[in-house]
Structure 1
Amino acid sequence: MKIQKVTLIGLGAMGVFFAPQLEDFLGKENFRVLADGERKQRLEDKGVTVNGINHKFHIITPDTTGDEADLIIMAVKDTGLSKAIEDIKNQVGKHTQILCVMNGIDSENQLAAVYGWEHVLYSYMRISISMKEGKADFNPQLGKVHFGEADNTELTDRVKAVKELFEASGIKYQIDTDMRKGLWFKFMCNIGENMTCALLEVPFGAFRESEHANAIRHKAMEEVIAIANRLGIDLGEEDIKRQDARIQQIPFGNKPSTLQDLENGRLTEIEMFAGKVVEMGKELGIDTPYNWMFYHAIKVKEEKLSGRFLP
């Protein structure tokens, strides 16, 4: 299997990590961005600016047929996942593989329910990217995409094909031996950092300076660990310590996605984050008071943005 055509859906903070390098390697016709409506028009007119360089990628629409991709990279937000799953249908051929690099722990299951596991690999991102008004500035060497089968003790042909593409195009990657643990580790970090920063309206730098911010972050992460352990996922305190060290490397002023959403007047992915923890806690009989507070507090922030509390 050789990957020669790639379609990306979602040219936001995660999508720009891939787009310039894949276009450079594959060429403009073989790297395509899937979009329609106002978003298609905006990308064609204005493009996106990545590290000071403006890019106008080859745009195709969901109704494009007869030109299936070898690899689809989905970098959408949770609120757009259902539509994106429908939009990619004409891009899925007999051998197409799909990486859904969005946050959360459910997207692969949702994709596999429609297209089958033979088309879906596990994946997630570890990078902090701030994007505003079509402009993103970040160091691509400080992050990577993780992908693979659930168990990668031995690499399958489809994992090798994606690996070869990323190596050839200069995209930093990692193949976790246990991808399910990797997904849950990323989810735990998102709960601790994304939710705490959004609630307190502080950047990542707060975790360098404030024992109080870290106290909240750690307690929220412990709730995720309790749920993961009940499900047979091997997360623990050592994983919190591992993230404590990494968080020192994130630029002080960077902000996670939920805080960026609130500051830009957008609905957040709260259902996928704290909402999911609360839901699973109820199902498993595990108390999740910190995530319960995150969920309801950030819902109030969304209500405030909607103008609900104006006199």
Structure 2
Amino acid sequence: MRIAIIGAGALGSFIGAKLSKEHEVMLVCRRAHADAIRERGLRISGKTELVVNPSVGCSAKELEDFGKIDLGIITVKAYDTYSAAKEYRKSMMDAKILSMQNGLGNLEAIERAVGRNAIGGITSHGLTFAEAGHVVHTGLGMTVVGDREIARLLTSSGIDTRYSENIEGEIWAKAVVNACINPLTALLKVKNGVLLELPGIKRMMKRIFLECYEVGKRVVRLPESRGRLENRVYETVRLTCENRSSMLQDIENGRRTEIGQITGEFVRRGKELGIEMPVNETILELVHGIEKITIHR
């Protein structure tokens, strides 16, 4: 199978590395990452130890030259979903398209860009972009997709994956988990595990959770009860205790975060539904403030 990973940062590189052992894979990524992979190969270290040599490219033309693809996996930041899907849609016209992204609204953005349905997916593996050509697998997690064939494909490549007929609910449930963890790690500038070590922060996580859960259950069929989903938040922190969340990494590197597509979407939907979201509104403004400070520093 010929597979393209659109936006191969930490997660996309990890997925692409695993798939490249049995399939033809092109990582569409930044130039420095592509150059490092061409020179030294793509290294995954940590929970996974692997060095592979997938094809790499940095443009729509290079992906077109790679040939007809069977599966396009989009892993760009959520705020870039529409533009990336539109830029690379020619290569994906006859392919299945899988979104493996944080945040809400990605499937809708892809569908607007390419004019047909995309498949949803989530994962909670902890991954850190160490340097160009090198990704660290910091924590094991679960992966869920809305397509049986793709679930089998990922599992056979070494990423244990289950199929869900309620992938929309799964995406919203993961967004709830992300909203409880990522913004707090970015604000406190700590690894995930620290959140459970501070009683006041754990209480804050619960307040964030209760607001987001109330919105989620009104919009979709969440796959878990309130108690079980809340426990999943804490279990995710424990499983990825050494991970620096993607939002924290963005802040540390002076980049835009996905706060608007995670917390911002919960706040927006909450307002539409008449649900008060005071804690999440405060978190949203604080992270946006830090973004402005770090990006323009």
Compare CA radii of gyration and give the structure with the larger one: 1
What is residue 208 of structure 2 aligned with on the other side? 220
Which amino acid in the other structure matches residue 299 of structure 1?
A: H
User: CA offset at residue 33 of structure 1?
Assistant: 1.7
TM-score of the superposition, structure 1-length normalised? 0.84
Tell me how far apart the structure 2 counterparts of residues 177 and 106 of structure 1 sit (CA, whole Å).
18
What is residue 112 of structure 1 aligned with on the other side? 111
Q: Secondary structure at the match of 2:183?
A: helix
Q: Percent identity?
A: 22
User: CA offset at residue 258 of structure 1?
Assistant: 0.8
Which amino acid in the other structure matches residue 68 of structure 1?
A: K
2:156 is aligned with 1:168: yes
What is residue 43 of structure 2 aligned with on the other side? 49
How many residues were matched structurally? 288
Q: Is the 8 A contact 2:190 2:244 kept in 1?
A: yes
Match of 1:244 among 226, 234, 252: 234
Q: Is the 8 A contact 2:126 2:138 kept in 1?
A: no
Tell me how far apart the structure 2 counterparts of residues 89 and 78 of structure 1 sit (CA, whole Å).
17
What is residue 62 of structure 1 aligned with on the other side? 60
User: CA offset at residue 101 of structure 1?
Assistant: 0.4
Instruction: Give structure 2 stretches of 5+ with no counterpart.
Output: none
Instruction: Give structure 1 stretches of 5+ with no counterpart.
Output: 149-158
What is residue 242 of structure 2 aligned with on the other side? 253
CA deviations on 1:114-169 (whole Å, 9 max, x unpaired) are 33445x111111111122323322267x2232101xxxxxxxxxx33323322332
Which amino acid in the other structure matches residue 114 of structure 1?
A: A
Q: Is the 8 A contact 1:25 1:168 kept in 2?
A: no
Tell me how far apart the structure 2 counterparts of residues 32 and 203 of structure 1 sit (CA, whole Å).
31
2:4 is aligned with 1:32: no
Q: Secondary structure at the match of 1:24?
A: coil
User: CA offset at residue 233 of structure 1?
Assistant: 2.8
Which amino acid in the other structure matches residue 137 of structure 1?
A: V
What is residue 272 of structure 2 aligned with on the other side? 283
User: CA offset at residue 14 of structure 1?
Assistant: 0.9
What is residue 185 of structure 1 aligned with on the other side? 173
2:162 is aligned with 1:133: no
Which amino acid in the other structure matches residue 225 of structure 1?
A: Y
Q: Is the 8 A contact 1:68 1:90 kept in 2?
A: no
Q: Is the 8 A contact 1:68 1:93 kept in 2?
A: no
Q: Secondary structure at the match of 2:122?
A: strand
Superposition CA RMSD, Å:
2.3
User: CA offset at residue 215 of structure 1?
Assistant: 0.8
Q: Is the 8 A contact 1:76 1:84 kept in 2?
A: yes
Tell me how far apart the structure 1 counterparts of residues 88 and 40 of structure 2 sit (CA, whole Å).
23
